[in-house]
């Protein structure tokens, strides 16, 4: 894919991209593109997917306060955060961190670790429980998409 860059680094970096994350990088890049087995690509992709989660959980509030000083960022946050809060409010207030697991585990766009972390911060959920639930959700979603890919490749 990227000439001169080791395959494992590509898997790691691509897994950090919201929307792609480990759930699509393992089957499409690790297995299909590079010819790796799932168990070779899986831990690298999960690590890449999870590396920013603790940073977001710990420091996003401080970054948010800084960015709110800039008019365009303030406007974007005043527009986007209420939408996120409204969409997640019922589930988060009822199920708290368990809702994060289900949210992140669904392998659809905009349901990954990054947005799950943002939801945890916006709802002031506990750090360690949020981190654990997001991790489990990332693993479940990656297992699901990889299993579907491997099953499809056996059938076709």
Q: At what angle do helices 7-14 and 38-50 cross, to 10 degrees?
A: 50
Q: Residue 16: name the closest of 143, 112, 129 by CA.
A: 112
Over residues 13-59, the pLDDT tens digits come to 999 999 899 999 999 999 999 999 999 999 999 999 999 999 999 99
In the chain, the percentage of residues whose pLDDT exceeds 70 is 99
In sequence order, what DSSP letters do the residues of the chain get, joined into one string? --TTS-HHHHHHHHTTSTTTHHHHHIIIIIIIIT---HHHHHHHHHHHHHTTHHHHHHHHHHHHHHHTTSHHHHHHHHHHHHHHHHHHHHHHHHHTHHHHHHHHHS-STT-SHHHHHHHHHHTT--HHHHHHHHHHHHHHHHHHHHHHHHHHHHH-
Q: What are phi and psi of 5, to 5 degrees?
A: -110, 125
Residue with tokens 């297995």: 31
Distance CA 40, CA 16 (A): 17
Chain-centre distance for alpha carbon 38: 19
Is residue 70 within 8 Å of residue 97, measured between CB atoms? Answer: no
For the stretch 69-80, pLDDT in tens is: 999 999 998 998
Grade residue 92 by pLDDT with cuts at 50, 70 and 90.
confident
């Amino acid at each position: 894919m990227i000439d001169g860059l080791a395959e494992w680094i590509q898997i790691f970096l691509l897994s950090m991209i919201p929307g792609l994350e480990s759930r699509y990088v393992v089957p499409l890049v690790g297995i299909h593109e590079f010819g790796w087995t799932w168990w070779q690509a899986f831990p690298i992709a999960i690590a890449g997917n999870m590396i920013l989660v603790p940073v977001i959980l710990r420091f996003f509030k401080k970054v948010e306060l800084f960015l709110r000083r800039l008019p365009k960022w303030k406007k974007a946050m005043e527009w986007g955060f209420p939408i996120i809060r409204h969409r997640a409010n019922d589930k988060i207030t009822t199920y708290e961190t368990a809702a994060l697991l289900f949210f992140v585990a669904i392998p659809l766009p905009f349901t990954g670790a990054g947005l799950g972390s943002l939801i945890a911060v916006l709802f002031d959920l506990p750090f360690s429980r949020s981190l654990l639930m997001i991790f489990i959700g990332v693993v479940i979603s990656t297992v699901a998409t990889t299993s579907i890919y491997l099953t499809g490749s056996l059938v076709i």
